[in-house]
Amino acid sequence: MTNLSDFISKLPKAELHLHLEGTLEPEMMLEKAKKNGIKLPYKSIEDARNAYRFKDLQSFLDLYYLGVSSLVDEQDFFDLAYAYFKKAASQNVRRAEVFFDPQAHTRRGVDFGTVIKGIHRAAVKAEDDFGISAGIIMSFLRDMPVSSAEETLEQALQYRSWIMGVGLDSKELGNPPSKFENVFKRASDEGFIAVAHAGEEAPAEYVWEAIKFLKVARIDHGYHMFEDQSLVIYVVHNRIPVTMCPLASVAVEYFKDIKDVPVKKAIDLGIIVSINSDDPAYFGGYINENYEAVAEALNLTFSEIKQITKNSFLSSFWSDKEKEKYIANVDKI
């Protein structure tokens, strides 16, 4: 182990941008597909991994939604989430605020309750077994009709105490945040915290919309915000955290090279930026691999790396007491 990877693995971290369905490794995908009698176009684990070459967000989403079709019963969702929490804890993630996509399951006939019961049970057991704290965020698929998001919110109310927030993901271009203003307002009235993928593949205007119409407490990706100086100033002054996902952003070709991912730029501008893994089963690395890739490519100092892990706790929706405790722990490393 190099000095750098040793240092990164020792640091306590919060992961704030992680899709549970994006942690479905080919091994589990093929095993579940076999058990559930689902046909997938992969002959082997290697065959699946070889198919994971993307040219844009949509080409990734196509395989992601294909993969989730292998998950059917509550135990499948438990196994998926528990495996992620176990892996994350092994990389010193102490707090994970994770997304799931209810509509990716309900639209193919799987009950909302089946999905959330499995995930919730995994979160409770993982906290017991590994001491990792979890927060669950349900994301609306922005390329589905608003009426479907509204139905999903209704279904979630029965499990209100298990779900911390609402998010917005899937195909961004052509599906601006303003489309979801009313359903986010209703979610806020019910006490859900709001986040949204914005400026991932769409222009800075989408980030403005997420702030103004959805009143987001955090921006996911946000790469295109640098096109608009006044937006950057707004994000800095209002201390709106931004979750970046380096390996993902290169895998779907937003950036040619990991050194182009604007993590250092964000730090230098005073943005509360964190590093996260997004869909690690598809993009070649969990959180520590993302930290390592960026730290190496951008020549980050140990103090900058520490700042990012402190940012991750600061950006989380954990209690102030826990945040302060872990930020102090980072300083002890």
Q: Choose the contact partner of 25 out of ligand ADE, Zn ion, none; CB within 5 to 8 A by kind.
A: none
Query: What's the sign of the alpha-carbon dihedral 249, 254, 258, 259?
Result: negative
Edge-to-edge strand order for the sheet containing 193-198?
A: 13-15, 93-100, 133-141, 165-169, 193-198, 218-221, 242-244, 273-275
Kindly list the residues in this chain that would bind ligand ADE in the complex (CB under 6 A).
19, 22, 57, 64, 169-170, 197, 200, 248, 278-279
CB of 175 to ligand ADE, least distance (A): 10
Nearer to ligand ADE, 210 or 330 (CB): 210
Nearer to ligand ADE, 209 or 278 (CB): 278
Query: What span, in angstroms and rounded, lies between the C-alpha atoms of 190 and 205?
Result: 27
User: Residue 194's Cα: distance from chain center in Å?
Assistant: 13
Nearer to Zn ion, 76 or 278 (CB): 278
Sole residue written with tokens 């040219």: 55
Choosing among Zn ion, ligand ADE, none, which partner's interface includes residue 170 (Cβ < 5 to 8 Å by kind)? Answer: ligand ADE
Q: Which of 21, 25, 200, 289 is catalytic?
A: 200
200 is catalytic: yes
Residue 278 engages Zn ion in binding (rule: CB under 5 A)? yes
In the list Zn ion, ligand ADE, none, the entry touching 22 (Cβ below 5 to 8 angstroms by class) is ligand ADE
Residue nearest to ligand ADE (CB): 169
What are the residue ranges of helices labelled H in the chain? Answer: 3-10, 26-36, 45-51, 57-68, 74-90, 102-106, 112-130, 146-157, 181-189, 204-212, 229-237, 246-251, 263-269, 280-283, 287-297, 302-314, 320-332
What is the C-alpha to C-alpha distance for residues 79 and 125, in angstroms, rounded to an integer? 11
DSSP result, 142-162: TTS-HHHHHHHHHHHHTTGGG
- Between 209 and 278, name the residue whose CB sits nearer to Zn ion: 278
Closest approach, Cβ 7 to Zn ion, in A, equals 26
* Closest approach of ligand ADE to the CB of residue 101, in Å: 7
Instruction: Give CA–CA dist 4/219, Å, rounded.
Output: 28
Beta pairing, strands 193-198 & 218-221: parallel
Amino acid at 252: V
Q: Closer to ligand ADE by CB, 11 or 219: give it.
A: 219
Residue ranges binding Zn ion (CB under 5 A): 278
Hey, which residues are catalytic here? 200
